[in-house]
Amino acid sequence: MLSLIFLGIAISFFQEWSYSWGFFGHKKINRMAVFTLPPEMIKFYKKNIEYITEHAVDPDKRRYSTEGEAPRHYIDIDHYIVNGNNPFEVVPKKWNDAVAKFSNDTLQAYGIVPWHVNLMVIRLTKAFEEKNVDQILRVSADLGHYIGDSHVPLHCTENYNGQLTGQRGIHGFWESRLPELKAKDYDFFVGRAVYVDDIQDDEWKVVQQSFSAKDSVLDIEKVLSQEFPSDQKYTFENRGASLMKTYSEEYSTKYHDMLNGMVERRLTQAIIKVGSYWYTAWINAGQPNLDELLEKTPSKDLLEDDFKLDKDYKTNKIKGREHQD
């Protein structure tokens, strides 16, 4: 009986931290991105801020209903390192060139987030051109999620959960536990959205920045784990009706301090990037008058789709890899 209790605790520990930035982080990114927008856009986005905030997590929920969703959240760029070469010089930035070089199957196997972000900006541009409220809301929320994912260092490596270095669980620790504990002290005044000339090139720079930080994410935690009293590393917290094993606040604070602001930087950089990509799509669509859409609300079809997605998330098994695998 006792073993079953601890098994349940372990499952709660892993399930709680199985999402990029956690639900808290993704919602925060989308919500704060609204306030980076210019006057011509902000009225529409503020009117729909609750939808864009709450549905920031839909892509993670979609991993329970849609085959092929998982690779849109990451890219294991170090898979392409051979003989110490620079993977960012090996992998073509343009999708068709990358498919020609590596095949679609290979790209899907190791993640496609930089290309998918570019595709989502194209879709948002089309939604603005058509003044399609449902699509503007859905794609804006989804795009914010994928941009957020690309800002996470552990979304850019095959060692995405420390499983190759004896650090299993670090994925959720870095991107969920730390922001939930520390975001109240972050500076979310990130400035105004700016136009981005080349989304694809810009998004690859985001991925490169994330990848450049992944060794610090892993190495610093490894050092801390060896120095910190093992009996003080974890604690148990009540989450709803569940007792969850998680990293202690003391251990989390020490790790957060040793990272020297990295989590805050990546989170706030994601916010301004989301706003800027929304803004770029609107500009590319010819700057449609969004005030004309203020009286429109999400359609019945969209809300029914959202309901079904939520049901699938609660009842289905995840498709593709989990961060804790």
Q: What is the pLDDT of residues 222-259, one digit of tens each?
A: 999 999 998 999 999 887 788 889 999 999 999 999 99
pLDDT at position 36: 98
Among residues 265, 236, 182, the alpha carbon closest in space to that of 16 is found at: 236
Domain spanning 2-315 has what CATH number?
1.10.575.10
Give the pLDDT of the chain (325 residues) as one tens digit per residue: 434 333 343 433 433 344 457 789 999 999 999 999 999 999 999 999 999 999 999 999 999 999 999 999 999 999 999 999 999 999 999 999 999 999 999 999 999 999 999 999 999 999 999 999 999 999 999 999 999 999 999 999 999 999 999 999 999 999 999 999 999 999 999 999 999 999 999 999 999 999 999 999 999 999 999 999 989 999 998 877 888 899 999 999 999 999 999 999 999 999 999 999 999 999 999 999 999 999 999 999 999 999 999 999 999 999 887 654 3
Buried b (16+ CB within 10 A) or exposed e, 234-267: eeeeeeeeeebbbbbeebbebbbeebeebbbebb
Question: pTM value?
Answer: 0.92
pLDDT at position 241: 81
Among residues 112, 128, 155, the alpha carbon closest in space to that of 21 is found at: 155
Among residues 16, 126, 108, the alpha carbon closest in space to that of 69 is found at: 108
